[in-house]
Amino acid sequence: MTTEATLAPTSASPTARHVWTRTRGVVLAVVLLLAGAVAIATIRSDTRHGSLDPRSADTYGSRAVAELLADRGVSTRVVTTLAEARAAAGPDTTLLIAVPDLLTRRQQTELHSATADSGGRTVLVAPGSSSVERLVPGVVADPATSLDSALPPDCTLPAALRAGQADTGGIRYTAINVGADECYPSDRLATLVRVPDESGTGDTIVLGAPDILLNDRLDDQGNASLALQLLGSRPHLVWYLPSLADTSATNPDDEKSLFDLLPSGWLWGTLQLFVAAALAALWRARRLGPLVPEKLPVAIRASETVEGRARLYRKADARDRAAGALRSTTRTRLAPLVGVPVTQAHAPEALLPALSAHLQRDGQSLHALLFGPPPGDDAALIALTDQLDALEREVRRP
């Protein structure tokens, strides 16, 4: 069978139902992944809600240490902006910075300038390498963290000696400053460092881990004693929780591009994926050049080919294409029987008058049969097949 070049639009193109049938598995997988991600994010947000917040009583909050400090006459005030933190720095105040790594470079520089000669105490909770170098010049963070949580003091700092073993294991530091106290060492590197200021009245405490401030760890080891001594040396405690809503965080000099925010491992991984994709493309394209036709190893009967194509048409609901193929083949066979060249078999103005003269029939009915619209259902397609078969038999009848 041959198909006419000017057939009506075929229904073999994917419909909405077919697209949904083929992609529903992928869509379901994506929906499940999104639902899982939302659930995990919700659980993690609920669990970490109020982390290192002195007003929070959950597992990772710090309300317990704030209550103990209040019993000893130390007031605790929470601030969320750099301006409030800088204004609070003073000789009678302990300024605790909960998450120093959230501060921008400019914020860290300004905060160091405000606390360097304030005469008070500044406590930094687990600052990273870049943060600690700007907030406490002369202290360097080691890339490898401590594998131990509870550590002995192993220093002469009175607060550490009274507290004894505590859960300070985390980021490890090295102090270059002369006169700095390095306590709770892990593999000879300190996890708590005290750096006095130039005046000798104030100091900066660097904690390698926040465990001694958390509600669920406060009653372990000497955590409570160490936390109360570090935070209760002044009558006022200002608890600085950096916030993304702080307008001082917006600085064009601190803006980073998307590639700056991506870890280097992701960039190398992406490069490896591109290399793998290129190798896969070369492997799949190993057979270069034109295709070479080959004879089939076995002979296939024409009826099997017809049945196979008919099943494909039926599966795709392509009644218009099937009807077009039947009409085109019928016109090709009828044209020589009525004296019309095969090249004009698909031209109504050439084929229909010759058929009408041969059959003594109205040309309008022949036009609807040979050039009409596609059938609407399978029954109409079967009826069209019978009518075309009957027409050909009538033309061939002597």
Write out pLDDT tens, residues 302-356.
888 888 888 888 888 888 888 888 899 999 998 888 888 988 888 888 888 888 8
Instruction: Please say if the pLDDT value at position 286 is more than 70.
Output: no
For residues 178 and 324, membership in a common domain is answered with: no
CA–CA separation, 208 and 147 (whole Å): 12
85 belongs to a structural domain: yes
Q: Does 234 lie in the same domain as 86?
A: yes
Residue at token pair 């294409």: 321
Do 219 and 307 belong to one domain?
no
Residue 357, domain member (yes or no): yes
In this predicted structure, which of 11-20, 65-74, 171-180 has the lowest mean pLDDT? Answer: 11-20
Averaged over 102-114, what is the pLDDT? 92
- Position 190 scores a pLDDT of 95
Whether residue 157 lies inside any domain: the answer is yes
Which residues touch 212 (CB under 8 Å, ≥6 apart)? 166, 167, 168, 218, 223, 224, 226, 227
Region of 165 (left: φ > 0; alpha: ψ -120 to 50; beta: rest) is beta
pLDDT of amino acid 46 = 45
pLDDT of residue 244: 74
Average pLDDT for the chain: 85
- Considering 208, 229, 247, which residue would you say is the last residue of a domain? 247
pLDDT in tens, 40-57: 766 655 444 578 999 998
Kindly state whether residues 102 and 243 are assigned to the same domain. yes
Percent of the chain with pLDDT over 90: 42
- Report whether 156 contacts 197 (CB < 8 A): no
User: What is the tally of structural domains in the chain?
Assistant: 2
> Is residue 7 one of the residues assigned to a domain?
no
pLDDT at 1 over 60: no
Task: Output the domain CATH number for residue 192.
Answer: 3.40.50
Say which residue, 14 or 267, is predicted with more confidence. Answer: 267
Same domain, 207 and 127: yes
Closest to 88 (Cα-Cα) out of 58, 120, 49: 120
Domain boundary among 214, 229, 247: 247
Domain that holds residue 80: 63-247
Asked whether the predicted pLDDT for residue 107 surpasses 80, the reply is yes
Do 237 and 141 fall within a single domain?
A: yes
- The pLDDT of residue 264 is 65
Residues 81 and 193 in one domain: yes
* Whether residues 91 and 212 fall in one domain: yes
Look at residue 294 and tell me if it is in a domain.
no
Helix axes 378-396, 363-371, angle to 10 degrees: 130
Q: In this predicted structure, what is the pLDDT of residue 39? A: 79
Q: Could you tell me the two tokens for 14? A: 């994917």
Domain boundary among 247, 266, 285: 247
Domain-located, residue 68: yes
The answer to whether residues 243 and 317 belong to one domain is no
Whether 240 and 383 map to the same domain: the answer is no
Per-residue pLDDT at 309 = 83
Domain assignment of residue 314, yes or no: yes
- Residue 204's pLDDT band, with cuts at 50, 70 and 90, is very high
Instruction: Check whether residue 219 and residue 324 sit in a common domain.
Output: no
pTM of the model: 0.54
- Domain presence at residue 259: no
In a shared domain, residues 109 and 185: yes
Split at pLDDT 50, 70, 90, the class of 9 is very low
Distances (CA, A) of 9 to 323, 331, 357: 12, 20, 32
